């Protein structure tokens, strides 16, 4: 592994843009945004659909800037609230490794290799679009991934330009398809929304029938009776319908709630959330196992306030 987003990756910007060992603010923002979108698209494509890890876990920050043309460094955010969940490091490493795979492809300039890396068109298309934007975002300016050794930088991967014709051959334009529902008309669809010239277009990406489906449930307020737990950020949970009942599962907090309707499942989740919150906070840290201490710290950081 040549790159490590925990330690930071250096991106060297050459040419006219970087010749003064500085980088215009708009170019720095564009580079950072394009890299962030690429990382998020990898997380969406490569992590398990039932993962309870929030997308914000893969947020990056500017962590350094060095002379030598212009070399900004970007790293995974070290902020505690973005380092939660039992498997956050495993998933961060997985995204890091897939990002390196994309850089290796970019270094060869043969972007058709993305077909092998992402054979499924639905996963490949957003990766292609975001890699195209990252590779071409600064126009003709040479960009490469480098590693600092002493006072100089050693090239790791060149970011070759991504031809639009190759991009068009790799992406798939998903067309709306007719929804086939069960007898009672119940179905859940994952929909891609695009806006162009004021018009909104909805494209069905996945369809889940009434028998079983999985979607994301991310409350910012959790209610139990008359108590409202106001959260610092959305709590990403898995929401499933299996046969005749609903399941809400927070992997980070190890909470599972069920109900025969969505409202029943949400009420049960609220009650379980309050129970865990009160139970863990009724014990000192030394009385808890390492696992339960992690959950206690996580839930206390998550809850911003309680309205009674």
Q: How far apart are CA 140 and CA 160, in angstroms?
A: 10
Predicted TM-score (pTM) of this structure: 0.59
* Domains of the chain: total: 3
25 and 124 together in one domain: yes
Q: How far apart are CA 244 and CA 242, in angstroms?
A: 6
Averaged pLDDT, 67-83: 86
90 and 223 together in one domain: no
- 181 pLDDT higher than 60: no
Residues 158, 23: contact at Cβ < 8 Å? no
Domain membership of residue 178 as a residue range: 174-210
Task: Give residue-wise pLDDT tens across range 196-227.
Answer: 555 555 554 444 444 445 566 788 999 998 89
Task: Give residue-wise pLDDT tens across range 56-71.
Answer: 889 999 999 987 789 9
109 and 18 together in one domain: yes
pLDDT at 192: 53
234 and 276 together in one domain: yes
Task: Give residue-wise pLDDT tens across range 20-55.
Answer: 889 999 999 999 999 999 999 999 888 876 666 777
186 and 261 together in one domain: no
18 and 161 together in one domain: yes
Q: How far apart are CA 14 and CA 69, in angstroms?
A: 5
Domain boundary pick from 189, 210, 231: 210
38, part of any domain: yes
Residues 70, 17: contact at Cβ < 8 Å? yes
Radius of gyration (Cα) for the chain, nearest Å? 23
* Residues belonging to the chain: 308
3-state SS track over 69-113: CEEEEEEECCCHHHCCCCCHHHHHHHHHHHHHHHHHHHHHCCHHH
- 194 pLDDT higher than 60: no
20 and 89 together in one domain: yes
In what helix (H) or strand (E) does residue 147 lie, and over which residues does it extend?
strand 143-149
129 and 232 together in one domain: no
4, part of any domain: no
Query: Nearest-CA neighbor of 50 among 2, 79, 98, 91?
Result: 91
Domain boundary pick from 156, 190, 210: 210
Task: Give residue-wise pLDDT tens across range 275-301.
Answer: 999 999 999 988 888 888 999 999 999
2, part of any domain: no
- Helix, strand or coil for residue 167? helix
Q: Which residues of 210-244 are buried (b: 16+ CB within 10 A; e: fewer)?
A: beebbebbebeebbbeeeebebeebbbbbbbbeee
Task: Give residue-wise pLDDT tens across range 87-134.
Answer: 788 999 999 999 999 999 999 999 999 999 999 888 899 999 999 999
149 and 22 together in one domain: yes
């Amino acid at each position: 592994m040549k790159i490590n987003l925990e330690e930071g990756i250096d991106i060297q910007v050459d040419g006219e843009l970087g010749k003064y060992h500085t980088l215009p603010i708009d170019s720095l923002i564009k580079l950072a945004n394009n890299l962030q979108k690429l990382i998020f698209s990898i997380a969406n494509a490569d992590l398990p659909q039932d993962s309870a890890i929030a997308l914000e876990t893969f947020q990056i920050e500017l962590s350094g800037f060095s002379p030598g043309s212009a070399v900004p460094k970007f790293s995974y955010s070290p902020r505690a609230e973005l380092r939660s969940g039992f498997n956050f490091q495993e998933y961060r490493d997985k995204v890091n490794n897939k990002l390196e795979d994309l850089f290796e492809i970019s270094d060869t300039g043969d972007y058709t290799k993305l077909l092998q890396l992402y054979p499924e068109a639905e996963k490949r298309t957003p990766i292609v679009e975001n890699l195209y934007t990252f590779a071409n975002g600064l126009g003709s300016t040479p960009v490469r991934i480098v590693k600092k050794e002493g006072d100089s930088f050693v090239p790791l991967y060149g970011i070759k330009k991504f031809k639009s014709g190759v991009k068009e051959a790799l992406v798939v334009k998903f067309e709306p398809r007719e929804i086939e529902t069960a007898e009672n008309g119940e179905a859940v669809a994952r929909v891609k929304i695009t806006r162009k010239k004021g018009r909104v277009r909805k494209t069905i990406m996945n369809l889940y029938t009434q028998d079983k489906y999985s979607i994301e449930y991310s409350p910012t307020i959790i209610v139990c009776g008359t108590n409202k737990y106001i959260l610092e950020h959305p709590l990403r949970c898995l929401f499933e319908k299996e046969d005749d009942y609903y399941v809400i599962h927070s992997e980070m907090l190890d909470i599972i709630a069920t109900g025969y309707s969505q409202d029943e499942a949400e009420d049960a989740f609220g009650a379980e959330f309050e129970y865990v919150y009160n139970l863990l906070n009724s014990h000192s840290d030394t009385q808890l196992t390492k696992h339960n201490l992690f959950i206690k710290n996580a839930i206390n950081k998550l809850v911003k306030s309680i309205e009674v």
